[in-house]
Amino acid sequence: MSGGVLVMFESNPKFREQPIDAVYVRKLIERYGHDLIAYASAHDLPLPQFESEPEMLFPTGFKAEPIVRGYTGETKHCGHFGCVFKTDRHDVVFKVTTDVNEAKFVNAVLLQRLQPDYMPGLVEYFAIVKLPSKFHGSRTYAIWREEAHQIGKWRGYDEGGKLREMYHKSSRALLEIDEYEERNRTNTKYWQFLSESSDVHEELFEDFESAFASTEGFDSLIYSELPRTSTTALLASSASLPTRFHNDATSIQYAWLMFLCMQYADKLQNMPTYNTPDDDGDERIADVSLLGQTLHAAISNQMVIADLHMGNIGETERTGTGVKVITDPGLVMILNRALAEAEPEDLIPR
């Protein structure tokens, strides 16, 4: 396509939100703990263990580990939006979060019954409820999910890590467009834009395939035009697009980046198990196929996981040693209006 321009977007507004406060979480548990335990009992869910401090969401020393106010001492127990508690089942944890994006995604996964068969490369979710309390205007949610470990331990310098990075950059550029369009359109026109972009993707799919297959050094192209800050969106400049689409640059960008996300998801899914060095330099098995399968399934069900950085990848007891899974999908685009507007069940206090 010729005559296009790169569109600049503001940084993700989610990062400017107030970090969750562990003191708030403790007061929340004091107020609704009995109701949450009653809910768990009534729905055959593992019982949260509220008598202990919450678990850390990130390993000590991990570069993205946030500082959270509330508990004395040096140990940090929460992430940016949530705190995790143990349950009476060793492979399930209880999470309190103010991240509405995560809550919407978990709710959409549960409503569509996508686990574990269709999205095995994602920590398994069992339930979500919306709590009556708010934190700095943000609703608070309670989630029962599978326990994860080895979070942030994958060095990611190998071929699987490179594909993960390519997917991450493409999805974050897609997210920039999505957030820009959502902020600057009415609700109806935003969903119309998504529908039009889907039509563009379907009609230009063969053009995109040709461009993807024929461009030499395509990985270098993505790296050069999608910097780590994700403040620019890539135009499909290498595709020989029909003239009728030349004035529909934003929809083409959106469709092109969606295509890239699917391509990298497929490459991850089809990558065989391999050996990779761990933090100590020892060889360790790495399997990224479930990651790819899950990313592909999400897109097929009108959701795009756009937060595939190293700190959101770990392992679970269910999947086994070396099998990489997504542990904290905080940034997700839900492209189905009914799913996006669906709300988790409310917790009804006694």
Domain spans, the chain: 14-146, 159-341
Structure-block tokens of residue 19: 């970090």
Q: Please check whether residue 98 is in contact with residue 135, taking contact to mean a CB–CB distance below 8 angstroms.
A: yes
Give the residue from 150, 82, 96 showing the smallest Cα distance to 317: 150
Alpha carbons 225 and 227: distance in angstroms, whole number:
6
- Could you give the count of Cα atoms lying within 13 Å of 312 in the half-sphere of its Cβ? 19
Residue with tokens 């939100």: 17
Report whether 339 contacts 167 (CB < 8 A).
no
Residues 6+ apart with CB under 8 A from 73: none
pLDDT in tens, 110-125: 999 999 889 999 999 9
53 versus 314: the higher-pLDDT residue is: 314
**Do the Cβ atoms of 319 and 291 come closer than 8 Å?**
no
Could you tell me the pTM of the whole model?
0.82
What end-to-end distance do the CA atoms of the chain give, in Å?
A: 61
Separation between Cα atoms, residue 142 and residue 96, nearest integer Å: 5
CB contact burial 122-151 (16+ within 10 A = b; e otherwise) = bbbbbbbbbbebebeebbbbbbbbbbbebb
**What is the distance between the alpha carbons of residues 161 and 219, in angstroms, rounded to a whole number?**
13
Looking at residue 280, its pLDDT comes to 67
Indicate the residue type of 291: L
Lowest mean pLDDT among 1-5, 15-19, 268-272: 1-5
Digit-coded pLDDT (tens) for 207-252: 778 777 766 444 544 444 433 333 333 344 444 445 454 446 778 7
What is the token pair recorded at 301?
């069900």
